[in-house]
Structure 1
Amino acid sequence: MKSNGNYDWKISTIGGVTRIRITSGEDIAHLDELDQKLWTVLSCPVNGLEMPQKTLSLIDSDHDGKIHVGEVVASAKWLTSVLKNPDSLVAGGDSLGLDDFNEDNEQGRTLLSCARQILQTAGLDKTSVSIAEAESYLDLVSKRPFNGDGVVVPASAGDDEELKQTIADIVATQGGVEDRSGEAGVDKDKLDAFYAAVSDHVAWLDSGRKDADGIFPYGDDTVAALACVEALKAKIDDYFLRCKLAQFNADPAGLNVAPERIGQIATKNLSDCVGEIAEYPIANVSADRTLDLTQGINPVWTGEVDRFRSLVLNGEGSLTEEKWLSVQDKFTAYRAWLAAKKGGSVEPLGEARLRAVLAAGRKDAIAELIASDKALEESVANVESVSKLLILHRDFYTFLRNFVTFDDFYSAVDGSTKAIFQAGTLYIDQRSTDLCIKVADMGKQGDIAGLSGMFILYCACESKVKKETMNIAAILTEGQIANLRVGQNAVFYDRQGNEWDAVVTKIISNPISVAQAFMSPYRKFADTLSERMKKSLADKENKVMGDMTGKAGSINVPAAEGTEAAKTAAKPPFDITKISILVAAFGMAFSCVTLALKALFKPWYTILLVLAALVVCISGPSMLITWIKLRKRNLGPILNANGWAINSKILVNSRFGSYFTHLVRLPKIKVEDPLSDKTPLWKKILLWLAFIVVVAGAAWLICPADKRPFCSKPEAEVAVDSTAAAEPAEGVADLPAEGVAAEPSESAGQVSSEGAEQVSAEAAL
């Protein structure tokens, strides 16, 4: 099949859907020609998959947490260009021969040279390079002071202590950039930002000193004075506003602290009520609108008031509103100067250190270190590319089998492989299921996963060893579901064999098998009937208990033993009439039912046909619907809810689904249970006799009357010639006169009796 080009793709039907097959390096090289509509997956998450995280991160070139078709195609084109034989991608492996590099490609030659350098540095005389060797060399390079990432750390400065300290100051004030070694360092942007901030802040400090008298009204104490004013501003503003309101109100006492409020805390430990006392006014209102700072001050605020007097008022003991406003005006220039502050990020270093940094002038020296580190970028990048090539050489084909096609998933029939989204195995209710998927967002699962048509157990898993938790969706495809419930405990084993405690948190119920669908209507009917019976019995029990409680006092006390009344109450008279009526009614009912069954089920196999028809009518629709649903079970919605962009159906029919769930298999041996209930021999004999009687009775009823055993057969009927019956026989006298009774013949009497029986049967029916 051709798609978006001239390449002839091979196709196959897997899981009920026609898919493209990727079986060779040539197929991988032409992935850019494959119509995107034919890809099974359009994107998948980087996290939560059973594949090395580094492999997925290397394919995710834009590092957005998702792998898209374009990124897969780019990886395929790069791999097939630097490898001499792309078919080696299908074989995989964690090592690559030096002769596998494509020397006809420029980057292939560069990577080959880097691979040889890796082997030479490690002192290895080999013709192949492995992932472990490349990673070891890359780790060695990363720990060097200069490792090609354009980031320098204090160790990069060698023995220059001033340079080390400056780099440390930059990291402390501007934030560090992670070096390849993992240590925080400085790059060109952080260096420029630091020296700009130092220059700006020193210039701002100098501008304040040029007009020190106007900007610092209290000299070196200006900062402390402003802090004191800010601490008291709200309370003093509140005091003067209360004084104004007191002039407006004839009774100013209500503006002070109410005695009731003080009375509420008077019995308490006042040290525990500091917060409440601080909310009281700073002082009682004054008629002359002057705040006396020496007495009558709220005790919580006396310390701040004393500092205010010392720093701002030069010891004055009172404060008017005009004086208070003039004090605040003194800080106007200082506030404006603070608002114009620049380079605040370096202020914690202190003015002395900032001026020392500018005087040292080591910016150019740090810039040279960064440039030296950056010069090694290409060589280190080549080492990273060799490592990337080796990792993708090992894992890329496996990824394609789970992205372009779902070959690994549909290979579960032989148990050789598992899809990368299969997280492990859940054991619950005497079965295990291998179709378990890590769940990233339970909210999305509730909205979409129900469309899959699968029976899903959502479990919260916790590992006491790893100190981790996760959620999984376990899909059951075999076994009974009656014992499964929310809150049930289970055990989950991940792909590495680690054990997790699992608890069922949610169940999405869907059919598992046609056999269960056969019994489903009866089970639902039985459940409904059981619930109604329980409810009815509970209602009756409540009613009886209520009646007994209500009428307990009205119960008559029985007569004393031995009295005439006691004898009468204990021995009711025997009524033979009632017994006779019951026996007669039972006999009539039995006769009617017997005759009805005989007429209805004739011939005998009619009852089997009726039972079969009833079963088909009851279970048939459920089985048909289940059969259709099982053929349409789709894993796609579950994966979609987990962050995948599925582009095709992922069908899991009955036959394929059976490979994922494994039921318990016990050996076929007979072992006597010492705790089982023992049935006495006489009960067994009675049960067998009852069974024989029922079978014999049914056979007797079904058998025609003239063939029943143990019954007298009717006498043979005398054949009568129709012509002879028409004319009286010779010598036979005329009919007797009116009023004279004729003797009934024996045959006539017999016919009459049988006719009467027939009439009685018809009447009973």
Structure 2
Amino acid sequence: MTTATAPVPAGTPGHPTPPRSPHRWQFLRAGGVDQVVFRNGEDIARIAELDQKLWVALACPTRGIDFDARTLDLIDTDSDGRVRPPEVIAACQWACERLRSADVLLAGSGTLSLDDLDPTCAPGADLAKEGRRILDLLGKQDTHTLTLADIADRGEWLASMRFNGDGVVTPDTADDDDALRAVIEEAIRTHGSTPDRHQNKPGLDRARAGAFMADALAMRDWYAQGDEEALPPLGARTLAAAEALRAVVPKVDDFFARCRVAAYDVQAVAALNPSPEAYDALAGHTLDANAQPIAELPLAPVTPRRALPLHGACLNPAWADAMATFARDTVVPLLGERDALEEAQWQSLRLQLAPCEAWIAARPDNALAGLPRERIDALLATRDALLALIAEDEAAEHHNRLLTDLEKLLRLQRDLRVLLHNFVSFKAFYRREDAIFQAGTLYLDGRSCELTVQVQDTARHATLAGLAKTCLAYCDCTRQGEKMSIVAAFTAGDVDFLFVGRNGVFYDRQGRDWDATITKLIENPTSVAQAFFAPYKKFVRLIEEQVAKRAAASEAGSQAALQTLAGKVATADAPADASASAKTPAKPGPILPPGSRIDVGTVAAIGVALGSISAVLVGIFGKFVDLGQWIPVALVGIVIAISGPSMLIAWLKLRQRSLGPILDASGWAINGRMKVNVRLGGMLSQTARVPPGAKRIAPDPYRQRHGLAGALAVTCVVGAVLLMAWRMDWLDPRLPPRLQHDRAAATTPGA
């Protein structure tokens, strides 16, 4: 007999959840690479299962591309300025965990219904609750849809709230509590400020408030220590007496030391008092009683008597005020009224106030050291209220964090699909939906180039981008003081008229127009047809250059000869020597230009050479004509021999033309070849064409007219064709027997 057991729920300890079946992906092939297709939210939710070898890109920069920078910053969790597959996977999983269905991420609308949030998990429920709170704050109680604009403008209504969650309190946060407001202002003045997150006003955070109150406590403890140890002699007036004594201690000690030396030897009195030279130095300046040179003089005239006058004309004027305060606050309370102070009395004062001096020396060295005791007590009375105010503001940080999460979710709902189609696959590029790396469109040389990428360093970029086997033009773009560098790929049309310095117009993704100038050019073929004509164009260009060089050299020689001839003509009637001309009169004769003599041997050699060349050409032409019906094959062979290598090289380069090196040089990490074939290249670079249905209303009045030369060329071509047809017996059926090429064959049937 068997015992029935209750089914065990999957996922309980000892009974792990069975693994999910492998996800069935769909791919499309473009650019020679298999690229995943995101059909529904399940594809996004299980993106971690997609082999990263099948990802088109493995990294991209967060700047320099046409994508929302704030969204990329939220995805870039390590803030290194680059997005990689783990961060994309984490963003997808983070969003899917908070939504009922991941299909919402494919909408790309930038709006989110609160019903789309998953209430069964804590993150989704918290976001739904926070979203409802935000809508209520915005006065949208009747709607359940949250937009990115509602979150993006949160700074305005957060700034209007007393507590915004940044942990920083400003004087305005205290509201009507004047005492607390004064404490916050005092703390900002003495300990610096932290800017408020939303209004950027100076405020106080917990760290600064703690330091401020710690300094206040230190000052209160210092004052309490003085009550017990330092203030008994005069009570509350002891501090003032000690401060007055400390102000004159160095100068009074100096005076009594000088007096002791004078008492030791009367002859030292003159040296211990200021010399006449010192007074002479003072006499040359505008004097001030408090000037430093006067303050450095002895406190009073030095005598062996060792008595310090406390007031009167005998005191140094620079120290008169300090001595008056000392006499009033220290001498009179402790020694009574007197006109002079003996050294023994001075030492007695020092001894009585020594504890207070030690207490003053132990005063905390902080920003609150100058505040009176009553102010310190008032500051400490608000300590609990200040810390409670900061704690209340910090408590709102939970809402601020949820607000940031809502912003992230809304941005992912709007932008994640675009990122996946430009990172995991390049669907946007191959469907010509403006990929995020495309900077705009360049119009130059009668065509538009859509494959343009923003560049930071042209020289560095060109080193790697040259491996793309693509014709690249680097351009500097300027607009109203702004500057930008781009690289444009010319993938169709000829490149004969592309050169450094050529100007065009660049339109960025925002539709703004920029002046563009080519600064660097990497030449590569754009099509096999272009490569077919390339050798002939090069040959014609070479002939033109050689003819131009020969013409320039000939013109220079002619100019030199004419200058020499003109000089001889101008000096022909001038006597070479006065004495010689007197004896033998010169007879004018014919003036021959230099080089006018022609050597007969040279003429003969030229004739022989021309004859030989003519014989060779006639022989070649005769052999060519003797080929008969193989003449077309020979012509094709000649063309292949000339254009074949160029076409082969172009074909090989076009097969290797790819997008990868261009993007890699811009900071991307492209995982595949990403080929740009001829068909795609023709779409990325479009040449100028008259629109369908349009017509030209008149011929070009300035077109090139060939005239007689054209007629002769046409006549020669027609004659050559007729001669070839006659040699190949194609015209015999239509010609009389005497004009036929093969007369025997023509007369045999009649015989």
- Structure 2 length normalisation: TM-score? 0.67
Can you list the C-alpha shifts for 1:684-743, whole angstroms capped at 9, x where unaligned?
766655555555566677779x99987799999xxxxxxxxxxxxxxxxxxxxxxxxxxx
Q: Do residues 447 (structure 1) and 463 (structure 2) align?
A: yes
- Counterpart selection for 1:673 from 669, 686, 700: 700
Partner of residue 170 from structure 2, selected from 153, 156, 160: 153
Opposite residue 700 of structure 2, the aligned amino acid is: D
Name the counterpart of 2:379: 360
Which amino acid in the other structure matches residue 663 of structure 2?
A: L
Match of 2:81 in 1: 65
User: Is 1:83 the equivalent of 2:99?
Assistant: yes
Q: Secondary structure at the match of 2:422?
A: coil
Match of 1:395 in 2: 415
- Cα deviations by residue, 1:236-275 (Å, 9 ceiling, x for unpaired): xxxxxxxxxxxxxxxxxxxxxxxxxxxxxxxxxxxxxxxx
Partner AA of 1:623 in structure 2: M
Conserved 8 A contact 1:174-1:194: no
Change in CA separation of 1:540 and 1:583 when aligned onto 2, cut-off 3 Å: closer
* Equivalent pair of 1:118/1:137 in contact (CA under 8 Å): no
Distance in 1 separating the partners of 2:395 and 2:534? 74
Q: Which residue of 2 aligns with 1:186?
A: 204
Would the aligned equivalents of 2:159 and 2:198 in 1 still touch at CA under 8 Å? yes
Which residue number in structure 1 is paired with residue 533 of structure 2?
A: 519
The corresponding residue for 1:485 is 499
Go from structure 1 to structure 2 and tell me whether the alpha carbon gap of 1:663 and 1:556 turns closer, same or farther (over 3 Å shift).
same
Q: Is the CA contact (8 Å cut-off) linking 2:625 and 2:727 kept in structure 1?
A: no
Deviations for 1:169-188, whole angstroms, at most 9, x for unmatched residues?
65565352441344343322
Cα shift at 1:505: 2.1
Question: C-alpha distance in 2, partners of 1:15/1:359?
Answer: 76
Going from structure 1 to structure 2, the CA distance change for 1:188 and 1:584 (only over 3 Å counts) comes to closer
Displacement of 1:420 after TM fit?
Answer: 1.1
Per-residue CA deviations over 1:577-624 (Å, capped at 9, x if unaligned) read 999999999889767754553234312344443332232222212212
Task: Check whether the contact 1:478–1:512 (CA below 8 A) recurs between aligned residues.
Answer: yes
Taking the aligned partners of 2:540 and 2:706, their CA distance within structure 1 comes to 28
* Distance (Å, rounded) in 2 between the aligned partners of 1:713 and 1:611: 22
Alpha-carbon deviations, 1:53-112, whole Å to 9, x = none? Answer: 222222222333222222211111121121111112122322223322212222212222
Percent of aligned pairs with the same amino acid = 34
The 3 A distance-change label for structure 1 pair 593 and 493 is closer
Q: Where does residue 391 of structure 2 map in the other structure?
A: 371
Structure 2 match to 1:729: none
CA separation in 1, counterparts of 2:635 and 2:279? 107
Counterparts of 1:682-721 in structure 2 under 5 Å?
none
Shift in Å, 1:447: 2.9
Seen in structure 2, the aligned counterparts of structure 1 residues 530 and 61 have a Cα distance that, compared at 3 Å, is same
Question: Match of 1:244?
Answer: none
Contact 2:113–2:146 (8 Å) recurs in 1: yes
Which residue in the other structure is 2:258 paired with? none
Cα pair 1:146 1:376 within 8 Å, conserved? yes
SS in structure 2 of the partner of residue 475 of structure 1:
strand
2:445 corresponds, among 414, 429, 432, to: 429
Do 1:145 and 1:153's aligned partners in 2 also have CA atoms closer than 8 Å?
no
CA deviations over 1:310-352 (Å, ceiling 9, x no partner): 555689xxxxxxxxxxxxxxxxxxxxxxxx99999x86x9945
Confirm or deny: 8 A CA contact 1:143 1:180 kept in the other structure: no
- Flag the 1:678–1:295 CA change in 2: closer, same or farther, 3 A: farther
Note closer, same or farther for the CA distance 1:404–1:692 as it changes in structure 2 (3 Å cut).
closer
Structure-to-structure mapping, 1:453-602, within 5 angstroms: 453-464=469-480, 468-539=482-553, 541-542=555-556, 545=559, 553-554=567-568, 593-594=617-618, 596-602=620-626
Q: What is residue 685 of structure 2 aligned with on the other side?
A: 661
CA RMSD of aligned residues (A): 5.1
Distance 1:201-1:452 versus aligned 2 partners, 3 A rule: farther
After TM superposition, the structure 1 stretch with the greater mean CA deviation from structure 2, 144-153 or 363-372, is 363-372
Relative to structure 1, the CA distance from residue 600 to residue 441 in structure 2 (aligned partners, 3 Å threshold; closer, same or farther) is: closer
Matches within 5 A, 1:90-239: 90-121=106-137, 122-136=139-153, 139-161=156-178, 163-164=180-181, 166-168=183-185, 170-171=187-188, 174-194=192-212
Alpha carbons 1:29, 1:80 under 8 Å: kept: yes
Note the alpha carbon deviations across 1:455-501, whole angstroms, 9 max, x for none.
Answer: 2222222232xx53322222111122222222222211122212222
Note if contact 1:452-1:633 (Cα within 8 Å) is conserved in structure 2.
yes
CA distance 1:167–1:614, change in 2 (3 Å): farther
Compared CA separation, residues 539 and 395, structure 1 to 2 (3 A): same
Measured after TM superposition, the shift of residue 646 of structure 1 is 2.1
CA positional deviation for 1:26? 0.8
- The 5 A counterparts of 1:264-413 are 309-310=293-294, 312=296, 351=370, 360-361=379-380, 362-412=382-432
> The residue matched to 1:405 in structure 2 has which SS?
coil
Q: Give structure 1 stretches of 5+ with no counterpart.
A: 221-291, 316-339, 717-765
The separation in 2 between residues aligned to 1:14 and 1:528, in whole angstroms, is 41
User: CA offset at residue 404 of structure 1?
Assistant: 1.2
> What TM-score do the two structures reach when normalised by structure 1?
0.66
Structure 2: 5+ residue stretches without partners: 1-18, 227-239, 253-276, 300-360, 574-586, 745-751
The equivalent residue for 1:236 is none
Inter-partner Cα distance in structure 2 for 1:544 and 1:294:
96
C-alpha contact (below 8 Å) 1:84/1:102 kept by paired residues = yes
Cα separation, 1, equivalents of 2:478 and 2:672: 33
C-alpha separation between the residues in 1 aligned to 2:675 and 2:556? Answer: 53
Which SS does the other structure have where 1:523 is aligned?
helix
| Residue of structure 2 aligned with 1:44, choices 57, 60, 70 | 60
Give 1:395 deviation, angstroms: 1.5
CA distance 1:617–1:213, change in 2 (3 Å): farther
Shift of residue 47, structure 1, vs aligned partner: 1.5
Q: What secondary structure, in the 3-state scheme, does the structure 1 residue paired with 2:385 have? A: helix
Letter in 1 for 2:167: G
Cα offset for 1:45?
1.5
Moved more, 176-185 or 494-503: 176-185
- Given that 1:453 and 1:634 are in contact with CA atoms closer than 8 Å, whether structure 2 keeps it comes out as yes
CA distance in 2, matches of 1:356, 1:537: 100
Aligned equivalents of 1:604, 1:374: Cα separation in 2: 100
Q: Is the CA contact (8 Å cut-off) linking 2:726 and 2:741 kept in structure 1?
A: no
31 and 602 in structure 1: CA distance in 2 versus 1, 3 angstrom threshold: same
Alpha-carbon spacing, 1:685–1:526, altered in 2? closer, same or farther (3 Å): closer
The CA distance in 1 between the partners of 2:362 and 2:463, in whole Å, is: 53
**Contact conserved, 1:598 with 1:701, CA < 8 A, in 2?**
no
Give the secondary-structure state (helix, strand or coil) at the position aligned to 1:401: helix
Offset of residue 664 of structure 1: 0.6
The total of aligned residue pairs comes to 606
| 1:416-464 C-alpha deviation (Å, 9 max, x unpaired) | x111111211111111111111223435313322222222222222232
Alignment CA distance shift 1:696-1:45 (3 Å): closer
Is 357-366 or 34-43 further displaced after alignment? Answer: 357-366
Relative to structure 1, the CA distance from residue 676 to residue 565 in structure 2 (aligned partners, 3 Å threshold; closer, same or farther) is same
Judge conservation of contact 1:153–1:179 (CA < 8 Å) in 2: no
Query: 1:659 aligns to what SS in structure 2?
Result: helix
CA distance in 2 between counterparts of 1:341 and 1:421 reads 66
TM superposition shift of 1:408: 1.0
Q: Which residue of 1 aligns with 2:668?
A: 644
CA separation in 1, counterparts of 2:364 and 2:459? 46
Do 2:251 and 2:298's aligned partners in 1 also have CA atoms closer than 8 Å?
no
Q: Distance in 2 between matches of 1:451 and 1:552?
A: 60
